[in-house]
């Protein structure tokens, strides 16, 4: 076994973060030539904070740029917790983001759901989803999504809790986003759902919470907000009532992006009233702070924290300016629940796509493959990117836009994992590989003078770096689809995972080989 692989995980992780170029070829030789591979939790390695954590608690975060497969991994972890001794119920907590995010889950019967606000718990009889106070909620959109899910799997009454303190978004925030785009000369970017503006108004104290919609004087509250926005728009020569904003309800029904007018004040208030009546009828609104006080000591309940966006989209630690407006790290759980600290959570998992990375947004990353300027004579990278996009159906769950395809970027993955508070990694999409195609892995960056450049958040820091790659043998993805345990995986797949683990310093504890619940392999020692 290579000496460095038996080092303290903490020290190894820091080493890979600070000096990512050290030992690349030694790791390759040990793993691919000598057959010395380590996958999963290292034997004898202690979990530093395990004694502080509440048992049967899990956090699942996206470790790169989003769309990693967080939802289906949450779906699998629910099964694990339901099988744990004494556990009779599992709570899945969404603690940040809004319906600008999308998770796709599929059960063993082939029922597939594209979720945005609804937690990835809805297919489990023992699971309850919680939309917590750190989430931005559009009441009309929530109604639409719940009705969509119910049309697929049946009644959800009693299976979803909505925090009364959740941040409320309306067509006013969406109209503001449209105005900002016009003012900045941007025609795209974001999802148009007003999430960033809702967060901004949470901080400047001009926004609303769900409890405002339940107030008996709610019409007065939102009447005032409409008038304030109307005045703001008139200052820029705009008529608020004529602004077109995304119509999530029509989009969900029609299957293509639809718009609607904000409308005059009475139209705006009437739509809110309809959503308000539905919320009251569903009886789903609770004080989630009281719930968390109970859950922190309830040995009969499992708890899963479901990250809505990836670590690379963190408002401070991500690829600024193309980032989310919330804290996507473990610290975001404390903000979004007002109760749970990182050390309270027993399993802290970062999910990444094994053989590539995908992204929806306007950012351009160092390892990104150019799929916009295609000619008849494609490069090998472009052939790989096109094949991946179609094979893995890389189109946004929320926007429907084709996702950008990138070679896996270890400097970014290692940085995100170190900064986010996660403990282990899980690799999805092991089936997206070909035995005839080498997999390019970025190990570190150089500048134009040949100097090592460490990963640093912010697109301007990454603009001119030159990614350095190692090419690793691919494998037959169809063989992966049939695998039931790690021994069934192709040798090149296990070698590859061992290399990624060695280069990041984070144990890879599980992998997925397809979209269904059954397509999950847990690796040794975990």
- How far apart, in whole angstroms, are the C-alpha atoms of residue 484 and residue 363? 37
Structural domains of the chain, with CATH: 3-47+351-522 (3.90.170.10), 51-163+287-313 (3.40.440.10), 168-282 (1.10.300)
DSSP 395: B
- In the three-class reduction of DSSP (H, G, I as helix; E, B as strand; rest coil), residue 304 is classed as strand
Structure tokens at 256: 């293509």
- How far apart, in whole angstroms, are the C-alpha atoms of residue 13 and residue 265? 55
Burial of residue 266 (number of CB atoms within 10 Å: 0-12, 13-18, 19+)? exposed
pLDDT at 75: 83
pLDDT at 1: 40
DSSP 158: T
pLDDT at 176: 92
Q: At 99, give phi and psi (nearest 5°).
A: -90, 25
Q: Are 70 and 103 in contact (CB under 8 A)?
A: yes
Structure tokens at 359: 């992204």
Pairing verdict, β 136-137 and 167-168: parallel
pLDDT averaged per 10 residues in sequence order, the chain, 526 residues: 57 88 92 91 82 93 91 85 92 89 69 81 89 94 90 88 96 92 64 86 92 94 95 93 87 76 95 94 93 94 92 91 90 95 94 94 88 87 92 74 92 94 94 94 96 92 94 95 93 96 95 87 84
pTM score of the predicted model:
0.91
pLDDT at 9: 83
Rg (CA), the chain: 23
Residue of 56, 495, 66 whose CA lies nearest to 319: 66
- How far apart, in whole angstroms, are the C-alpha atoms of residue 119 and residue 133? 14
pLDDT at 108: 65
pLDDT at 399: 59
pLDDT at 187: 47
- How far apart, in whole angstroms, are the C-alpha atoms of residue 179 and residue 183? 6
- How far apart, in whole angstroms, are the C-alpha atoms of residue 337 and residue 345? 13
Task: Provide the 10 A C-beta neighbour count for residue 320.
Answer: 16
pLDDT at 6: 45
């Amino acid at each position: 076994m290579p000496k460095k692989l038996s080092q303290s995980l903490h020290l190894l992780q820091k080493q890979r973060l600070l000096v990512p170029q050290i030992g690349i070829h030694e790791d390759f030789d040990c793993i691919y030539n000598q057959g010395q591979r380590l996958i999963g939790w290292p034997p004898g390695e202690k979990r530093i904070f395990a004694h502080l954590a509440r048992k049967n608690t899990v956090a699942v975060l996206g470790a790169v740029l989003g769309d990693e497969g967080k939802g289906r991994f949450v779906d699998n972890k629910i099964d694990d917790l339901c099988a744990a001794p004494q556990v009779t119920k599992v709570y899945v907590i969404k603690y940040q983001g809004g319906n600008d995010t999308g998770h796709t889950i599929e059960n063993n019967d082939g029922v597939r759901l594209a979720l945005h606000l609804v937690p990835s718990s809805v297919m489990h009889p023992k699971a309850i989803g919680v939309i917590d106070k750190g989430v931005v909620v559009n009441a009309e959109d929530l109604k639409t999504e719940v009705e969509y899910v119910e049309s697929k799997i049946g009644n959800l009454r009693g299976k979803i809790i909505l925090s009364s303190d959740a941040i409320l978004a309306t067509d006013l925030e969406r109209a503001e986003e449209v105005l900002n785009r016009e003012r900045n000369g941007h025609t795209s970017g974001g999802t148009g759902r007003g999430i960033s503006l809702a967060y901004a108004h949470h901080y400047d104290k001009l926004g609303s919470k769900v409890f405002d919609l339940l107030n008996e004087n709610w019409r007065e509250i939102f009447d005032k907000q409409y008038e304030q926005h109307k005045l703001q728009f008139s200052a820029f020569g705009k008529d608020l009532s004529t602004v077109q904003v995304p119509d999530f309800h029509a989009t969900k029904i029609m299957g293509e992006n639809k718009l609607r007018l904000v409308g005059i004040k009475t139209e705006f208030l009437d739509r809110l009233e309809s959503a308000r009546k539905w919320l009251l009828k569903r009886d789903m609104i609770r004080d989630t702070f009281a719930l968390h006080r109970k859950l922190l000591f309830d040995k009969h309940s499992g708890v899963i924290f479901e990250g809505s966006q990836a670590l690379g989209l963190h408002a401070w630690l991500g690829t600024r300016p193309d980032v989310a407006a919330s804290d996507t790290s473990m610290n975001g759980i404390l903000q979004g629940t007002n109760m749970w600290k990182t050390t309270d959570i027993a399993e802290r998992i970062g999910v990444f796509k094994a053989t590539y990375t995908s992204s929806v947004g306007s950012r351009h990353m160092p390892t990104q493959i150019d799929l916009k300027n295609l000619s008849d004579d494609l490069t090998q990278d472009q052939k790989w990117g096109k094949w991946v996009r179609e094979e893995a159906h890389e189109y946004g769950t929320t926007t429907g836009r084709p996702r950008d395809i990138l070679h896996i970027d270890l400097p970014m993955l290692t940085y995100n994992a170190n900064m986010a508070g996660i403990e282990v990694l899980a690799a999805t999409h092991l089936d997206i590989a070909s035995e005839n195609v080498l997999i390019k892995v970025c190990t570190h960056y150089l500048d134009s003078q040949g100097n090592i450049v460490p990963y640093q958040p912010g697109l301007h820091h990454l603009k001119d770096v030159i990614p350095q790659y190692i090419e690793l043998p691919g494998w037959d993805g169809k063989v992966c689809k049939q695998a039931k345990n790690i021994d069934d995986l192709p040798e090149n797949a296990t070698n590859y995972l061992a290399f990624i683990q060695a280069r990041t310093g984070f144990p890879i504890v599980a992998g997925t080989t397809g979209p269904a619940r059954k397509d999950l392999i847990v690796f040794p020692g975990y």
